[in-house]
């Protein structure tokens, strides 16, 4: 039954590879879970990752050599203390708001907040700078995932967008002199969006019209983007006055205005507000426009959407273009906030964006807290580095990132655990998953072996 819908529609109608279809079925399953359940699963995944991360820290602490043990458990000394590592990681990223003397468990009721702590400290500024870029890359991935497309290429789209906007802005500097310099900023953002969007449209078109699997093409395009960027900056547009491989500096006026936070920090509240406005716009686009409806139904039920008159090829290309455009803006914002010039390689915001989007359940609004969490992890990694008492390598954050994705990918695990605790909960959830299965088999997913 189900395969008929796919086969008589012949090739061009089938949106993408069979891999894609199966992936979409998986995504559909993820989306079926209610927003509350999703949030719960994300939270549980986070807690579990932190717990396993603690074991990794302890194990690493046994392997490493140090003069004095940082902590002792069960008679064994460990070089790294997970509590201290996580303390630095999470509280360090906020600028140490908690007074170390505040310890209600041991009867010390000092003031809970560190004296002189304000939310405008430099550490938190860095956290929020990271968050600003991560919201954009997370949003980029989430839009594509919503349409059922695994855009792993946000990193490459970000590189291309950031480089293109930098080069165009630099080229236009002689034209926009004096007060007109201000105009370069919006131009740069538009150029970043256009180039990122075009670079995203390539795998979109390959998927829509040549059935090329987007997971592979986007990963390959990431490698191409970083090599091309390195070549262009090194051989064609290198700053002649600098030893490092970077472009010329943008003029002083081309930046997001800085308010509230110190001038020496990279963070700009204006940039964050601009990004949050993009979040709202994306939410509106997905929820309240007919295009957004097409996009979401294609992601949930490609065949059903097709039957309902959605041009799936065009939807794929369009959603990949939007996804790429958001990534391109991310690259531009990164360049403008941090350095004011482009220097390869660009840190892995694109890959972190995947984690952010998966953690957020591909919900544009959920991307904001998820991005903040990763902003905390990245900023906390630096506060670990600067603390002489904690010597753990910051690559730990990469391990945590992988663990979080792994656990978010297996909601079934948490449901099984949940079942053990609540019998009533089991019945209602199982009913729910049955319905989801039924919907899935009607949707023309090839190979209905999982259904009974």
Closer of 37 and 211 to another protein (Cβ)? 211
Nearest distance from C-beta of residue 414 to another protein, angstroms: 9
449's enclosing H/E stretch is none
N- to C-terminal Cα distance for the chain? 14
Residues between 341 and 360 with contacts to another protein, criterion CB under 8 A: 345, 351, 354-355, 358
Nearest distance from C-beta of residue 445 to another protein, angstroms: 8
Neighbours of 448 (CB within 10 A): 15
Binding segment for another protein among 55-63, 106-114, 170-178, 253-261 (CB under 8 A)? 55-63
Residue 358: φ, ψ to 5°: -65, -40
Residues between 288 and 347 with contacts to another protein, criterion CB under 8 A: 345
Residues between 11 and 50 with contacts to another protein, criterion CB under 8 A: 11, 17-19, 22-23, 25-27, 29-30
Closer of 207 and 250 to another protein (Cβ)? 207
Name which position in 136, 152, 305, 325 contacts another protein (CB under 8 A): 152
Nearest distance from C-beta of residue 383 to another protein, angstroms: 17
Question: Which residues have CB under 8 Å from 381's CB, separation 6+?
Answer: 89, 394, 396, 397
Nearest distance from C-beta of residue 155 to another protein, angstroms: 10
Neighbours of 235 (CB within 10 A): 9
Name which position in 115, 235, 241, 423 contacts another protein (CB under 8 A): 235
Neighbours of 320 (CB within 10 A): 31
DSSP string, 380-410: HHHHHHH-TT----TTHHHHHHHHHHHHHT-
Closer of 72 and 450 to another protein (Cβ)? 450
Q: In whole angstroms, how far apart are CA 46 and each of 43, 53, 355, 405, 416?
A: 5, 10, 11, 9, 17
Contact call for residue 159 and another protein (CB under 8 A): no
Binding segment for another protein among 10-18, 250-258, 303-311, 371-379 (CB under 8 A)? 10-18
Contact call for residue 150 and another protein (CB under 8 A): yes
Contact call for residue 60 and another protein (CB under 8 A): yes
Alpha-carbon span 386 to 123, nearest angstrom: 12
Burial class (CB in 10 A: 0-12, 13-18, 19+), 385: middle
C-alpha closest to that of 336 among 203, 182, 210, 200: 182
Contact call for residue 63 and another protein (CB under 8 A): yes
Binding segment for another protein among 88-96, 161-169, 360-368, 441-449 (CB under 8 A)? 441-449
Nearest distance from C-beta of residue 305 to another protein, angstroms: 19
Alpha-carbon span 82 to 79, nearest angstrom: 10
Q: Which ranges of 339-395 does DSSP label H, i.e. alpha helix? A: 349-359, 367-386
Residue position matching structure tokens 């360049």 = 335
Closer of 39 and 52 to another protein (Cβ)? 52
Name which position in 112, 257, 402, 431 contacts another protein (CB under 8 A): 402
The answer to whether residues 155 and 350 touch, using CB atoms and an 8 Å cutoff, is yes
Binding segment for another protein among 60-68, 70-78, 258-266, 359-367 (CB under 8 A)? 60-68
Closer of 3 and 72 to another protein (Cβ)? 3
Contact call for residue 244 and another protein (CB under 8 A): no
Size of the site for another protein (CB under 8 A): 72
Name which position in 35, 281, 410, 438 contacts another protein (CB under 8 A): 410
Nearest distance from C-beta of residue 174 to another protein, angstroms: 28
In b/e form, how buried is each residue of 154-168, taking b as 16+ CB within 10 angstroms? bbbbbbbbbbbbbbb
Residues between 198 and 227 with contacts to another protein, criterion CB under 8 A: 206, 210-213, 215-217, 219-221, 223-224, 227
Encode 69-85 in three state secondary structure: CCEEECCEEECCCHHHH
Nearest distance from C-beta of residue 117 to another protein, angstroms: 31
Contact call for residue 431 and another protein (CB under 8 A): no
Alpha-carbon span 277 to 325, nearest angstrom: 15
Nearest distance from C-beta of residue 203 to another protein, angstroms: 8
Binding segment for another protein among 180-188, 259-267, 282-290, 387-395 (CB under 8 A)? 387-395
Contact call for residue 408 and another protein (CB under 8 A): yes
Name which position in 393, 426, 429, 441 contacts another protein (CB under 8 A): 393
Contact call for residue 228 and another protein (CB under 8 A): yes
Nearest distance from C-beta of residue 333 to another protein, angstroms: 22
Alpha-carbon span 2 to 167, nearest angstrom: 51
DSSP string, 301-338: -HHHHHHTT--HHHHHHHHHHHHHHHHHHHHHHHHHHH
Coil, helix or strand for 103?
Answer: strand
């Amino acid at each position: 039954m189900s395969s008929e819908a796919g086969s008589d529609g012949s090739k061009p109608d089938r949106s993408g590879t069979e891999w894609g279809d199966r992936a979409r079925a998986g995504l559909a399953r993820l989306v079926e879970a209610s927003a509350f359940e999703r949030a719960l699963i994300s939270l549980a995944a986070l807690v579990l990752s932190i717990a396993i991360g603690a074991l990794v820290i302890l194990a690493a602490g046994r392997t490493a050599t140090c003069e004095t043990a940082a902590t002792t458990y069960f008679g064994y000394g460990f070089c790294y203390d997970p509590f201290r590592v996580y303390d630095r990681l999470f509280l360090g990223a906020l600028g140490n708001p908690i007074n170390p003397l505040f310890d209600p468990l041991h009867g010390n009721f000092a003031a809970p907040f560190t004296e002189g702590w304000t939310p405008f400290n430099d550490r938190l500024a860095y956290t929020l700078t990271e968050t600003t870029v991560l919201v954009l890359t997370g949003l980029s991935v989430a839009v594509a995932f919503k349409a059922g497309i695994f855009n792993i290429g946000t990193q490459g789209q970000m590189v291309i967008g950031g480089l293109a906007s930098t080069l165009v802005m630099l080229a236009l500097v002689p034209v926009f002199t004096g007060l007109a310099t201000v105009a370069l900023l919006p131009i740069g953002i538009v150029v970043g969006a256009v180039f990122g969007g075009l670079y995203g449209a390539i795998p979109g078109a390959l998927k829509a019209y040549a059935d090329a699997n987007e997971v592979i093409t986007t990963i390959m395009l990431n490698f191409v983007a970083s090599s091309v960027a390195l070549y262009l900056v090194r051989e064609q547009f290198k700053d002649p006055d600098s030893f490092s491989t970077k472009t010329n500096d943008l003029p002083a006026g081309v930046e997001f205005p800085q308010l509230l936070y110190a001038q020496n920090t990279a963070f700009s509240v204006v940039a964050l507000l601009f990004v949050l406005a993009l979040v709202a716009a994306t939410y509106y686009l997905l929820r309240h426009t007919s295009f957004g409806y097409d996009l979401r139904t294609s992601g949930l039920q490609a065949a059903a959407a097709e039957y309902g008159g959605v041009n799936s090829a065009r939807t794929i290309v369009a959603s990949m273009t939007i996804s790429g455009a958001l990534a391109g803006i991310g690259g531009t914002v990164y360049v403008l906030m941090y350095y004011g010039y482009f220097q390869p390689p660009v840190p892995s915001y694109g890959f972190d964006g995947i984690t952010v989007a998966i953690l957020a359940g591909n919900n544009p609004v959920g991307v904001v807290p998820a991005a903040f969490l990763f902003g905390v992890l990245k900023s906390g990694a630096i506060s670990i580095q600067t603390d002489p008492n904690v010597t753990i390598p910051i690559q730990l954050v990469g391990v945590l990132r992988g663990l979080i994705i792994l656990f978010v990918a297996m909601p079934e695990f948490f449901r099984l655990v949940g079942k053990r605790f609540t019998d009533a909960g089991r019945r209602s959830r199982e009913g729910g998953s049955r319905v989801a299965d039924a919907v899935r088999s009607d949707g023309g997913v090839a190979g209905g072996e999982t259904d009974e």
